[in-house]
Structure 1
Amino acid sequence: MVEILISQKKLIGNLRYYQQLYPEVSVAPVLKSNAYGHGLVEVAEILDKENLPFFCVDSLYEALLLRKLGIRTKILVIGYTSPSNINAGKQKDFSFAITSLSHLQDLAQNLKNPTEFHLKIDTGMHRQGITMRELPEAALIIKSSGKINLAGIYSHLSDAADEAFTRQQIVHWNKAVADLRKDFPELRFFHLSATSGVRFSKEISANAIRIGLGLYLANPVLCLRSIVTSVKNVDKGEFVGYDRTLQAVQPMKIATVPVGYFEGVDLRLSNRGYFKVNDIFCPIAGRVSMNITTIDASSISSIKAGETVTVISNQPEDLNSAENIAKICGTIPYEILIHIPSYLRRTVV
């Protein structure tokens, strides 16, 4: 039994936080990768009522799914989409990213119908985008294509924690915006900052910000729960779990929980992580299995099958919050959240 709860109040509260902190720009939620594990459809349905400029998804598949389910907010597909896939799409109201000069050339040659795009600028991350040197050529291709309707431009900060490097990117960005606005006065959207870079907003020529992780973790929105299915006593010297990675140094009370790495419990939490039962943090005992995790419930005087177990907490200070799980695993919260399988039902509360 696994239960994923998505707090509508917290999600809207996080949106309001960024809207109030940066009233001079519009907030564009990032819903790619199953809304960072929170449920693409569930999150979109909540935010669809908020009159937002557009949602960011990674693929045409995600965009088509949202439209099929009645989502009305405009959608920007920020991942690479080939001309053939754009041509084959039945929906004509999506915007797509232009991710490189070669991509732009391919689009100009092979698009069948006028389509709306946001041009990605490489301001220093060197992953995707038109370089500053390529901008004049790109502008000429767009103007002569007849099929590429440029609605926006965007870029991405490589290392927002490094102020000096970020300001170099901002200089490149502001120049690109100034140049392209002269060539394309009809441009409507300019967006550089994502969650980690919004603090630079006043220095950036932009009218939108893309909020991903902050939308879900400024005040954590997701809680993953399960139950205790059995409790047994383990004597001193006995082992727990695969490969006998835990040997009891004293008598222990071991509880089993029917979630494992298939359900999104990171294997790196073996003998290191925590679940919460009755407001008590119980260490993970032994190796996380595919569908079962064992915990040391010795500190709980009375525990029985059916007790609720919090696997991922929506309280940021908890040892098993997404942020703290990521620290234990030596990774980032994104990885923890997106590994929660999409097949598990999300319930909006």
Structure 2
Amino acid sequence: MRPLAAHIDLDALRHNYRIAADCAPQSRSVAVIKADAYGHGALACARALEPLAPALAVASIEEALALRAGGITKPIVLLEGFFDADELALIDEHGFWVSVHSDWQVEALLAFTPRQPIPVWLKVDSGMHRLGFEPARVAPLWHRLAAASQVGELHLMSHFATADAGDSGYFETQLETVKALSRTLEAPLCLANSPATLAHRTAHGAWNRPGVMLYGSNPLEVDNPIAASLRPVMSLRSKIISLREIAAGEPVGYGGRWRAPRPSKIAVVAAGYGDGVDRHAADGTPVLVDGQRCAIAGRVSMDMLTVDVTEVASAAIGSEVVLWGESAGGARLSVDEVARHCDTISYTLLTGVLPRVPRYYSGT
């Protein structure tokens, strides 16, 4: 069998969730498992987190229904709400909680007769300018929803544009906008995403919603001691399938982008962009071979990539190669570091691992 696989450590997932919860002991932490749990497998991750998390969060009703079909009974928040009024019957049937960010959603909800009141998170556009109501419109909508028999527990929510940045000026502006509304309305808040959970205690509310940090990625632009204690959940591992010696100056890969600076030993690894390895990985992108750091040399192909293993004496056919995560021997390579070499972020690497890559779970 092809040796590439994503190894998912559910004990690490639970460890990271506990860190998120410990960051804000006065808050409840909803575990965000949208986008197939950031590529880790939503149902397996939901089952691992359900005993710990008071609620889970996804992007759409399709994701939520798949969790219910898999036996998940905890509350599930639909972070983008519903996309059609017809979904309200399923929301009511399965006890989902909904974000409401548009006028048509408010009208659809208030025209519906649920069997039980539906918990609602009213979304404020505090400066992200993506989803949500302008702050000046929130108070009348809040009072209208609070008085409606269709609506259960009601919260204000918003999303930060720059919580991950070292400069927190715009973050503070957004935070004060929502907190001012909260004081006026005596409204509980759900504001903190992963970076705000880690680094901005003032944003901790009745609920926080940690996401990428649960999977072992540090979303902050600066070092953070709490983030340093996160453990990688996904380890993307393959093996060397071919080795060759090349002379100084010889090119490797499509376009001959990389040329050997000295007589070199090149390993071919079974992993490529057809698996989700970023084709934009630059020469020098780190990998681990037998637990030792070395670098990608040449463009990533669809099914293979090439690595300069000249300095790795143990490199042989079948040697373990870690694209990110943890080696069998315990050496680690951060997905965040790999992402920087690909001019992207960890979210895209983790969610981009394609279905042909098998997932193997430990810690179940």
TM-score normalized by structure 1? 0.88
1:337 alignment partner in structure 2: 350
1-side partners of 2:275 and 2:348: how far apart? 14
1:87 alignment partner in structure 2: 88
Identity between Structure 1 and Structure 2 (%) = 28
CA RMSD of aligned residues (A): 2.5
2-side partners of 1:190 and 1:258: how far apart? 47
> Aligned pair in 2 of structure 1 residues 20, 149: CA closer, same or farther (>3 Å)?
closer
Instruction: Give the one of 245, 257, 260 matched to 2:269.
Output: 257
> Aligned pair in 2 of structure 1 residues 244, 288: CA closer, same or farther (>3 Å)?
same
Cα deviation, 1:319-346, whole Å, max 9, x if unaligned, reads 8421111221222222222111245332
Gap runs ≥5 in structure 1: 183-188
> Partner amino acid for 1:89?
L
> Partner amino acid for 2:79?
I
The answer as to whether partners of 1:273 and 1:320 remain within 8 angstroms in 2 is no
> Aligned pair in 2 of structure 1 residues 303, 112: CA closer, same or farther (>3 Å)?
same
The answer as to whether partners of 2:196 and 2:203 remain within 8 angstroms in 1 is no
Cα deviation, 1:241-298, whole Å, max 9, x if unaligned, reads 1122223343322211111112121112142312211122222121100111011122
> Partner amino acid for 1:138?
L
Residue 62 of structure 2 aligns to a residue whose secondary structure is helix
2-side partners of 1:54 and 1:251: how far apart? 56
> Partner amino acid for 1:338?
T
TM-score normalized by structure 2? 0.84
2:180 alignment partner in structure 1: 175
Residue 174 of structure 1: how far off its partner (Å): 2.0
Residue 143 of structure 1: how far off its partner (Å): 5.1
Cα deviation, 1:155-178, whole Å, max 9, x if unaligned, reads 112212343332222222223223
1:321 alignment partner in structure 2: 334
Instruction: Give the one of 32, 35, 46 matched to 1:33.
Output: 35
2:284 alignment partner in structure 1: 272
1:282 alignment partner in structure 2: 294
Residue 306 of structure 1 aligns to a residue whose secondary structure is coil
Residue 175 of structure 1 aligns to a residue whose secondary structure is helix
> Partner amino acid for 1:242?
Y
1:185 alignment partner in structure 2: none
2:98 alignment partner in structure 1: 96
The answer as to whether partners of 2:282 and 2:341 remain within 8 angstroms in 1 is no
Q: How many residues align?
A: 339
Residue 261 of structure 1 aligns to a residue whose secondary structure is coil
Moved over 4 A (4+): 143-146, 317-320
Larger mean Cα displacement after TM superposition, 32-41 or 141-150? 141-150
> Partner amino acid for 1:10?
A
Gap runs ≥5 in structure 2: 217-229
Residue 197 of structure 1: how far off its partner (Å): 1.3
